[in-house]
Structure 1
Amino acid sequence: MSRTQPSARPPRSTGKKRLILNLFEMNCVSHITHGLWRLPDNNRERFNDIEYWTELARLLEKGGFDAVFLADVVGTYDTFRGSAETAVKQGLQIPNNDPAVVVPAMAAVTKHLGFGITFSTTYEPPFAWARRASTLDHLTKGRVGWNIVTSYLPNAARNHGLPDEVEHSTRFEIADEYLDVLYKLWEGSWDDDAIVADREHNVFADPARIRPIDHVGKHFRVEGPHLPSPSRQRTPVLFTATQSADGIAFAGKHSEVVFTGGGTPDAVKRLVADLKQAAVDAGRTRDDLKVITTAGVIVAPTEQEARAKAARFQELSDPEGYLAHAGLPWDPTAFPPETPLADVAAEDGRAGRWRQLTSDGTVGEFLAGFGDISRHPLSVVGTPEQAADAIEHWLDDLGLDGINLLQYHTFDTAKDFIELVVPVLRARGRLRTSYDESESLRDRIFGRGDRLPPDHPATRYRGGRNLPRPEGISDPIPTPDPLAEKAG
């Protein structure tokens, strides 16, 4: 066992459910509001500039945001029309930079803002990511979360030497072992008191308190030890993004915050219930898992002004960007609107990455929703009070714990929310009035300390438990040399 295992304090008292508030971002031009980068004074084209990220970080911290949630992909959207042409023309997540690299810059100009970093378990080895995540948790003093994804784009697989996507359930099997390796590195490889910094005896770290993990599994073989010393959180806050059955089971076992969605508010409510139950089924509690989703909030001092703003956004919204983003294997714009969907969709009934055909609708009816910003299941256009009413409904009636705020205009969407909605939410007890000076990202979300709770599967490796060599690093016992003994 570690000699100085930090103790978790009891959760803070709760009254009304407090909103987990993140901004949804990506290191690219067109993230998920396609065509809107063209809005006047939109900053999306500045994403290559470090000042873009430092300005954004300062703004979000000033507004009391919990974190900026950084999405990512490692391939292009090239299924629609058989190529990436539409995606490239629209800047749809290409060009696209690494989300983790901008975090130190944002952390350097803030003290409290958290960072949710998307990283895939399918293509890069776990040892390298464990090191990078620990480094970021050190540099941010415990403000890092990891959005665990398994990657879905066929081009992503081809970019990493595979002929096609890894099958869905196999990706989650790989991810489960990937997490097991990381838990061994983050939680088990070093004791908390391994750094002794003994200047007199020239001993910086005690080898007896550091151990290899000697992981040998179906997909990975990792000796260890972990290269970084334990960071404040050890394991970053674990996010997952999912709606699938495999993903729900995976989240129930591993995740602390799940980013999910659904076609309707009722579908979101059912997903929230399923995810919470999955945590219980995995031996955890409902409170161990928070659920967030994307929310569109277009707000102004009056409802008329908000609706005018939404209309300006709608004018520039481009349906073709949404069609490419959906990964449609067929092109609905190539058929007359009255064409039955059953005549043109994929043989398995698939209508793209997000949709399965369940009706006898027409191509025109199917196409009508693409690019319509009002069709988002969780959206509100109105006054600050109307926006706050909607958010309270999402928290209390749908069971959500927070939102990733959708950006229509950067930075005006965040500015509008901060200036108009945040004061109302604070007055209603839904949002903090200030940060706790000493909290990590995990402590802020759960209110019970920096480290994972004891019922999380990662904790079974603490102090070297359940590792092949719990005793730590030591020089091998010398083997007697018979020839030397005889010569002596």
Structure 2
Amino acid sequence: MKKQIRFNGFTLNSVAPHSPGLWRHPEDQGQRHGDLDYWTDMARLLEKGKFDAVFLADVLGIYDVYGDSPDAAIEHAVQVPLHNTLLQISAMAAVTEHIGFAPTYSATYTEPYKLARDFSTLDHLTKGRVAWNIVTSYLKSEAVNLGLGDQIEHDKRYDRADEYMDVVYKLWEHSWEEDAVEANRETGVYSNPDKVHPINHKGDYFSVPGSHLVEPSPQRTPVLFQAGAFEKGKAFAAKHAEALFTTLASDLDELKAFTKEIRERAVDAGREADDIKIFPGIVPIVGRTEEEAQEKYEELLSYVSYEGTAAMLSGHTGVDFSKYDPDQYVEDVTTNASHGFLKKYSSSTTRKWTVREAVLHHGLGIGATKVVGTPEQIADALEAMANEGDADGFNIIQAASPVTFEDFIEHVVPVLQARGSYRTEYEASTLRENLFGAGRVRTSNNHPSKKSVGLYGVNV
């Protein structure tokens, strides 16, 4: 059997999620993002395409690094306005049966006790179709507006997040015994208090003494996505992630090196090499002919906002690119923002990037690989990245919404299905089963969620 490729639809609850300026494209519907029908339509579309999940990115602040002002971000709709990432999920789940939902939530700015409750609730409501994309947040504006004087230093955010995961694992996996809910009408006992345990967590960053508020959900722990790019992030992902999103790999050699390193790190962390599904981001641009696809690509590029993208890239990297000559090469500096985005352009092994080139590349799908061609050519490229580059699947990033998804599902998915490289039906009903195989509803026994405490709340 050929390797099975997987897809997530990558978006964000905003006007032009990851391609500043594309809201002006005549086929773009991003301005409908405040309309619930926009999201239920998208969920149906992606489930029609047999996607694993709707991947919902998020930030909690405005991109205000560029020119030391939020003006460019506001003017060009650079992820602002930006609505809550969780609230549409119940509605999307109600109109679908199989597709999962992977919202981004910050382990820096959400208390673990609250996050555990929110995701357990969603896992119940979706019947086990929820993932959590774990982020530590990179914008200073997030920290300031959420009551901190400044950002927590980059590496410390990851140290703090590691303990955060221990807390939520204790709540999800170890607080309630599987049969704690008795719902016995004769005795009047709904939940047996002897089987609901306080977690008694007291660490360097968090103190959470009590028990989880929610009974065990279908998956208990949601599927765990992460986007760790460099040392701290990769170590965190190797330990915790079940799926990893990356935009770093720009060619097959870089992808092979990246997937090899992540799988080796997973093994070093006591896991199996295939315990992490790796999803590079791509922007597919489909044409009936190669020439038509290239024309569509050039048209999409013409709508990209240079200033808007410069504001986004400045926010991503923590570097104010308004102070740089556009023809100057991007240089590596130490910031508390996303190390991965900066090193993508400052430390590439394949080329040197000028500021202008980096901005133009970043403007269509946050710097992800563009795959431009006929359906057969795009299928060829994806199969090569999966079979030679060892990717497990791809986060499909929109240029224009929802036409990028529509073109891909209508034209590329059938080619992959005919080749036997992509499912024609879902394998199961929960998200973890669809990713890892029927019967694997819960985290694996070698995952740290199973090791964080002894039986029912006793620290080990």
Q: TM-score if structure 2 supplies the norm length? A: 0.92
> In structure 1, what is the equivalent of residue 433 of structure 2?
443
Label 1:101 to 1:384 Cα distance change in 2 as closer, same or farther (>3 A).
same
Q: Secondary structure at the match of 2:204?
A: coil
Q: Secondary structure at the match of 2:297?
A: helix
Aligned length: 448
- Of 45, 60, 65 in structure 2, the residue corresponding to residue 59 of structure 1 is 45
Q: Secondary structure at the match of 1:326?
A: helix
User: Is 1:211–1:469's contact at 8 Å kept on the other side of the alignment?
Assistant: no
> In structure 1, what is the equivalent of residue 192 of structure 2?
206
Listed one character per residue, the Cα deviations across residues 281-318 of structure 1 (whole Å, up to 9, x for unaligned) are 10001011111121011012222221221121011112
Q: Would you say 1:32 and 2:23 are equivalent positions? A: no
- Matches of 1:47 and 1:147 in 2, distance apart? 20
> In structure 2, what is the equivalent of residue 301 of structure 1?
288
Label 1:450 to 1:139 Cα distance change in 2 as closer, same or farther (>3 A).
same
Q: Secondary structure at the match of 1:115?
A: strand
Q: Which amino acid aligns with 1:315?
A: S
User: Is 2:176–2:215's contact at 8 Å kept on the other side of the alignment?
Assistant: yes
The 5-angstrom pairing of residues 11-160 of structure 1 reads 15-160=1-146
- Matches of 2:53 and 2:18 in 1, distance apart? 18
RMSD: 2.5
Listed one character per residue, the Cα deviations across residues 44-98 of structure 1 (whole Å, up to 9, x for unaligned) are 0010111110111111111111111000001111111101111111111111111
> In structure 2, what is the equivalent of residue 467 of structure 1?
457
1:275: how far off? 1.1
Q: Which amino acid aligns with 2:399?
A: Y
- Of 205, 209, 213 in structure 2, the residue corresponding to residue 219 of structure 1 is 205
The 5-angstrom pairing of residues 230-379 of structure 1 reads 230-262=216-248, 264-265=250-251, 266-327=253-314, 341=329, 354-356=341-343, 357=346, 365-372=354-361, 373=364, 376=367, 378-379=369-370
- Matches of 2:336 and 2:120 in 1, distance apart? 40
Listed one character per residue, the Cα deviations across residues 369-410 of structure 1 (whole Å, up to 9, x for unaligned) are 422449956221111100100100110121111111010111
Q: Would you say 1:393 and 2:384 are equivalent positions? A: yes
Q: Which amino acid aligns with 1:433?
A: T
Q: Which amino acid aligns with 1:296?
A: V
- Of 380, 387, 407 in structure 1, the residue corresponding to residue 398 of structure 2 is 407
- Matches of 1:321 and 1:396 in 2, distance apart? 36
1:350: how far off? 11
User: Is 1:276–1:289's contact at 8 Å kept on the other side of the alignment?
Assistant: yes
Label 1:374 to 1:85 Cα distance change in 2 as closer, same or farther (>3 A).
closer
User: Is 1:261–1:268's contact at 8 Å kept on the other side of the alignment?
Assistant: no
Q: Which amino acid aligns with 1:367?
A: R
Q: Which amino acid aligns with 1:92?
A: V
- Matches of 2:365 and 2:108 in 1, distance apart? 34
Label 1:346 to 1:179 Cα distance change in 2 as closer, same or farther (>3 A).
closer
Q: Whose radius of gyration is greater, 1 or 2?
A: 1
Label 1:468 to 1:377 Cα distance change in 2 as closer, same or farther (>3 A).
closer
User: Is 1:296–1:376's contact at 8 Å kept on the other side of the alignment?
Assistant: no
Q: Which amino acid aligns with 1:419?
A: E
- Matches of 1:309 and 1:341 in 2, distance apart? 29
Label 1:152 to 1:19 Cα distance change in 2 as closer, same or farther (>3 A).
same
- Matches of 2:452 and 2:365 in 1, distance apart? 47
User: Is 2:78–2:309's contact at 8 Å kept on the other side of the alignment?
Assistant: no
Label 1:193 to 1:416 Cα distance change in 2 as closer, same or farther (>3 A).
same
1:431: how far off? 1.0
1:355: how far off? 2.5
User: Is 1:118–1:147's contact at 8 Å kept on the other side of the alignment?
Assistant: yes
Q: TM-score if structure 1 supplies the norm length? A: 0.87
Q: Which amino acid aligns with 1:366?
A: V
| Unaligned residue ranges in structure 1 (runs of 5+) | 1-14, 471-488
